Amino acid sequence: MLWVEKYRPDSFDKIRGQTEVIGHIRNFADGKNIPHMIFFGPHGNGKSCAMECLAKAVYGDDAFITNVTVIPAGTLFRQGKTWLEKEGGFKHLYKPDESLIANFKHIVKWYASMKPFNAEFKIIVFEDAGELTFDAQAALRRTMEKYSKTCRFILIARQQTAIIPPIASRCLPLFFAPLSSSEIVAQLTEILEKEGISEDKVDSGTVELIAKVSKGDLRKAIMFLEAFVANGDTDIIDLTNSEVSAIAYALFATMRKKDLKKSCEIAEMIMLEYGLSGRELIAELKNTAKRE
């Protein structure tokens, strides 16, 4: 399992650097009722984790999966109908003879109209909500109006301005700030301790440099750290030129160690998270091999 997943926060207390905004979210969780919300801010600072913790607090672990639908808007609108054909969670709703926007409307309406399981409302989450087209957002606005009593919407985006005013005005905006270097250093140090990695292999200066070049993105920092540990003679600056390149370093290193299981995990994560084809992944590995 990759470190970004292994050390993914599973409770509000484990989300670093967002004390104020987590306090607001925790209050909603305690009351078992939430408004429509926009979680906005840079990548890698806890927005998706906060959403998951909120949903589990409202529904409990058992009903969480039933009552929460996550739609990766960025992937959907980048890959289009090709993605819908393959994605198991939405494949049963896909209509090949209709346009992408028609499929989007159908999917959102279908999930929004579903009766919640042992709850007053269900939650639909749009990750990378800034990637929603104007037409998609206009359709979403109408769905929000129609199903507001039984469905809550959480939009996760980098910028609040990416959301059209008719939707934004219906949502509570919550800003997730970039993490400080000290917060990132603390988390990376904790990971190294739990992994049993000594300072001889990764010294404090390296950890501080990774925190600095990650620019407030904890997810990216953890990826860089794992890639560095997997291939310790790599220059940090070279490693941080690209997030995908950093993960490719980790994949290349595990392949050299003949760790088939972890290699498959990393390869699958790259293809799913970044939308790379098998050919593009091989090209990235070739570039990594050339730099070795």
In CATH, what number does 18-175 get? 3.40.50.300
The per-residue pLDDT for 228 is: 83
Q: Can you tell me the distance from the alpha carbon of 73 to that of 87, in angstroms, rounded to the nearest whole number?
A: 13
pLDDT digits (tens, 9 = 90+) for 270-284: 666 666 667 777 877
Query: One-letter amino acid identity for 13?
Result: D
**How far does Cα 22 stand from its chain's mean position?**
17
Count of other CB atoms within 10 angstroms of residue 157: 23
Name the residue among 130, 145, 140 with its Cα closest to residue 72.
130
Condensed to tens digits (0 to 9), the pLDDT of residues 111-164 reads 999 989 889 999 999 999 999 999 999 999 999 999 988 999 999 999 999 999
Ramachandran class of 44: left when φ > 0, alpha when ψ lies in -120 to 50, beta otherwise: left
Domain ranges of the chain: 18-175, 181-291
What are residue 155's DSSP bridge partners? 38, 126
pLDDT confidence of residue 244: 66
Res 30 pLDDT > 80: yes
- What are the φ/ψ torsions at residue 42 (nearest 5 degrees)? -60, 165
Query: Hey, which of 74-88, 177-191, 200-214, 221-235 has the most confident mean pLDDT?
Result: 177-191
Number of residues written out for the chain: 292
Percent of the chain past pLDDT 70, that is, above it, reads 89
pLDDT(26) > 90 = yes
What is the pTM for the complete model shown?
A: 0.81
User: d(Cα 207, Cα 192) in Å, to the nearest integer?
Assistant: 10
